[in-house]
Amino acid sequence: MSSWLDYTINGLIVGNVYALVAVGLALIFGVSRLINFAQGSIYLVGAYIGWVAVVQLHTPLPLTIIVVALAAALVGLIIERFGLRPLQNSVRIAPLLATIGISFVLDQLVMLTFSPNPRALPSQLPDVRFQIGGGTIGPLDLLIAGVGLTSALLLFAFLRYSKLGWAVRATAQDRDAAMQMGVDVNRVNQAVFGIAAALGGVSGLLVGMYYNQIDTAMSLQATLKGVVAEVVGGAGNVPGAVIGSLLLGLVESYGVAVFGTSYRNLFAFLLLVVVLVLRPNGLFASARQAPPEPLTGTFIAPSRPVRIPRWALLVVLGVFAILPLLPVSLYVLQTLINAWLLGMLALSLTLVAGTIGQVSLGHAALLAIGAYTSALLSLNFSVPVGLAIIGGGLTSAALGTALISPSFRLRGHYVSIATLAIGEIVSLVILNWEGVTRGPIGVSGIPPLSLFGYELISPTSIYWFSFAVMVVLALLQARLLGSHLGRSFRAIRDDDVAARAYGLSLNRYKSLAFIFGGFAAGISGGIAAHLYSYINHETFNTQQSILALTVVILGGLGNVVGAVVGSVALVGLPEVFRIAAEYRILIYGIVLLLLVRFRPQGLLGTI
Amino acid sequence: MAIAQAAPLLSVRGLTRRFGGLTAVDAIDLDLAKGELVSIIGPNGAGKTTLFNLVTGLDRPDAGNVSFEGQDVTGLSPETLAAEGIARTFQLGRVFGNLSVMDNVLIGAHTRLRAVKPAVPLIGPLLELGLALLRPANVKAEEERLREEVKVILSRFGERLLPRIEQPAYSLSYANRRRVEIARALALKPRLLLLDEPTAGMNPTETAEMQALVAELKAEGLTILLIEHKLEMVMRLSDRVIVMDEGKKIAEGAGEQVRTDPKVIEAYLGHGLSGAADQRESAA
């Protein structure tokens, strides 16, 4: 049993590492009001460049750090120049989606280059521990502390004394005024992305050395931790980000000391949710700030939906309905079953992200809740499968809405962070609540789909079942959009301040949107559980959330037909072109980026 | 002009709002009788819009109180105040860009939905969801009635909006968006209407139309609080004028009386009395 001092030192060291990520996020948020979801990917890239330098090129440690910093900075500059600068004048949702897409592309590129297997990243430092009081400290701890302090000092000097640093601070304070005074905002952005990326890359290197292990899952964790630290400190507040990081490191370290390692991430996300609820502007922001300037309906791209004649829809529907009767292969049917399941998830997300403007990045959690509920109801209580699936939908609607409700007061990017965190919390609870969810072993032997006592085993019957359920959900959603709730949801998305001034309660309508959307996602998860017959905490992961988001953007935000078309396209086209599974996520990421850049309203237009 | 001394519709006492070191609204008193039209004028940054935000619940005061129809409504949410019958338009024009003109104005009538929003505690929202999906006859009838009402409201603007009723608001001209905002406010059937620079950015013809419309609303008995820079319009329409500068009320009274008040002239000094303010407004 290590002493408390050890846990404190560990917490501060880890906090130092988080600070390197969080400071970059804070700088970027300061000048461009953007939470850079690709920050963790740069951290990942830094770790792997470090691995190449250390293991293959045998560079000495100081050179390794410099190489990593420069290479990561280059990646940052490329992201800024080609990923974000073209989106400067577009709607607010565009850069948010772009950084998500960039993050997936970078992660996949690293994974394809280096394989997803973990690698050892030796620290190049002597393995000795110095005794301090009741605890010990090693050279690597000192190095991390040193790098943290040095970067903080350099950054402070840069912001305080250099001309470009002044420009950064001026831009952060008032972008328009800075531009009018002749500040080259593009150069400021470049500088900030370069610095943020260099810090992020070095952070990845140090973490890799600290644990002597790197793998591709580091990216998402780093983004989440960095964002948590940054938001805790107050978005855009650089010193706040450092303090938030140290706090997060300590909370985690003490939490692990008391409850054990498997809960490590839970503390970070609980801290985030608590801060977002109690002090959405961060711990160090003054409690009451000037109300934000009015922003007039520019969250999503204005567009007119493509009108599809009713007869055309009916014909297509009819063709898909009789498809199993035609001479098609089982493979086609199976692919389409996947498309219909994804379609239900996309319907849910297009309502939540598109219609009411809450871009959820943790939507797979709703699948997981539905799947576990349905599986456990049928296994433990012998509930008939059909009813169990409906139970899954209802539980997902209720639980999902309850979990997300703390974020109803948040806007834009914060909603995405909160949903991402809540998604992680759900998956961690599933992993750790062994009494109910069977923990890491997962749930096996889930009974197959059945309806009124008849088992649906043949692909044809499963096809019809999933198709019918999806069509019913789509029709219900279309009917919802045509009601007063449809316009109320869209009004809240376009301008929540004006919506409130006309009597629309945000809590009420966001809840209703999540209830309806949660039901569809829960049904999808429930059906999936009975199809797969085995599920665990990783069955429904962030990749699915991102896939669903890409589908929704592809089809057009809020567009019911678009969600279904997008699902068929993103599930079907990779099959048609026989793209290997490992390249698919990369392609989804690229599709997302291209859409945001060239057709932000999607194929069928925003509704 | 008789000012009803009986219980005023809106009564504001000592209303104060500070942003850091700046006192945007400083101990403002204000009474508004039923059917009265009071204008608030003052240089940019005088705190007029902040005062509106405080009265409509979008911002909360640091001190003072607001009462509406004799009830203390200080710090209530904008949703609640909308349901009480307070409607407003916004300085920079906040229409719902992706919604059609019809839907924008229907949102204005949201607080008047009854059939589809049963006032049942706890399960009310779920009933609302169910009714929205099922749409029984009374829900359909209510929706139909409101749609007809919207058309009547839009016909107040002649042929400006009616032909564009199904067009998304983002495709409208600036002046038309302002009109949609006012139509949306009227759909609430307000008992108190707050207009924040309804003619900002409008040309003289459009301004004259808007002035006629506001006069019409006043003649119909609507109580109106108006922020406006175009002094000619203010003088013609207002029962009383309140002048704000640096958060404080510096003058109050009939239009002509206020116009010649030395304090008011001083506040505007260097800007010219009306012309410069208009220009700056249209530049913004």
Q: pLDDT by residue (tens digit) across A526-567?
A: 999 999 999 998 899 888 888 899 999 999 999 999 999 999
CB contact under 8 A, A296 and B93: yes
pLDDT of residue B257: 87
Please tell me which residue, A270 or A53, carries the higher pLDDT value.
Answer: A53
Stretch 149-208 of chain B: residues touching chain A, C-beta under 8 Å: 168-171, 184, 188
C-alpha A90/C-alpha A399 separation (Å) is: 35
pLDDT over threshold 60, residue A276: yes
pLDDT per position as a tens digit, B258-276: 888 888 888 876 554 444 4
Quick one: pLDDT band at residue B2, thresholds 50, 70, 90? very low
Report which of A532, A564, A537, A561 is spatially closest to residue A548, judged by C-alpha positions: A564
In this prediction, residues B95-122 reach a mean pLDDT of 92
Quick one: pLDDT band at residue B5, thresholds 50, 70, 90? low
Chain A hits for B149, CB-CB cut-off 8 Å, are none
Q: Tell me B100's DSSP state.
A: B
pLDDT over threshold 80, residue A301: no
**Mean pLDDT in chain A?**
88
Nearest CA in chain B to A606: B98
C-alpha A46/C-alpha A40 separation (Å) is: 10
Total residue count of chain B as it appears in this document: 284
C-alpha B80/C-alpha B73 separation (Å) is: 9
Angle at B278 between CA B274 and CA B280, to 5 degrees: 120
Q: Which among B88, B99, B171 is the nearest to A490, CB-wise?
A: B99
Report which of B207, B259, B238 is spatially closest to residue B39, judged by C-alpha positions: B238
Interface of A with B (CB under 8 A): 286, 288-291, 294, 296-298, 300, 302-304, 476, 479-480, 483-485, 487-488, 490-491, 493-495, 497-505, 508, 511-512, 515-516, 606-607
Token pair belonging to A552:
């929704």
pLDDT of residue A217: 83
pLDDT of residue A176: 80
pLDDT of residue B273: 47
pLDDT per position as a tens digit, A175-188: 788 888 888 888 89
C-alpha B207/C-alpha A107 separation (Å) is: 57
CATH topology of domain B1-85+190-284: Rossmann fold (3.40.50)
Residue ranges per structural domain of chain B: 1-85+190-284, 99-188
Please tell me which residue, A207 or A278, carries the higher pLDDT value.
Answer: A207
Chain B hits for A479, CB-CB cut-off 8 Å, are 133, 135
Q: Tell me B114's DSSP state.
A: -
**For residue A279, how far is the Cα from the chain centroid?**
22
Total residue count of chain A as it appears in this document: 607
pLDDT per position as a tens digit, A415-439: 888 888 888 889 889 998 988 999 8
pLDDT of residue A31: 82
pLDDT per position as a tens digit, A246-259: 999 999 889 888 88
C-alpha A396/C-alpha A365 separation (Å) is: 9
pLDDT of residue A139: 84
pLDDT over threshold 50, residue B283: no
Tell me which of A94-103, A261-270, A400-409, B216-225 is least confident: A261-270
pLDDT of residue A173: 78
Q: Any residues with CB less than 8 A from the CB of B47 and at least 6 apart, and which?
A: B17, B24, B25, B26, B28, B244, B246, B247
Asked if residue A572 lies in contact with residue A332, where contact means CB atoms within 8 angstroms, the answer is no
pLDDT of residue A134: 65
Q: Mutate which of A180, A484, A500, A516 to disrupt the B interface (most B C-beta within 10 Å)?
A: A484
* Interface predicted TM-score (ipTM): 0.90
pLDDT per position as a tens digit, B170-210: 899 989 999 999 999 999 999 999 999 999 888 999 999 99
- Say what percent of chain B tops pLDDT 90: 71
Asked if residue A516 lies in contact with residue A354, where contact means CB atoms within 8 angstroms, the answer is no
For every residue of A443-506, DSSP letters joined together read: B--PPPPEETTEE--SHHHHHHHHHHHHHHHHHHHHHHHTSHHHHHHHHHHH-HHHHHHTT--H
pLDDT of residue A512: 96
Establish, for the pair of chains A and B, how many residue pairs have beta carbons separated by less than 8 Å. Answer: 125
Tell me which of A48-57, A128-137, A556-565 is least confident: A128-137
3-state class (DSSP) for residue B115: coil
pLDDT over threshold 70, residue B40: yes
**Cross-strand pairs, B195:** B226
CB contact under 8 A, B94 and A291: no
Q: Mutate which of B25, B81, B94 to disrupt the A interface (most A C-beta within 10 Å)?
A: B94
Chain A hits for B184, CB-CB cut-off 8 Å, are 502
Strands B63-68 and B10-19: antiparallel
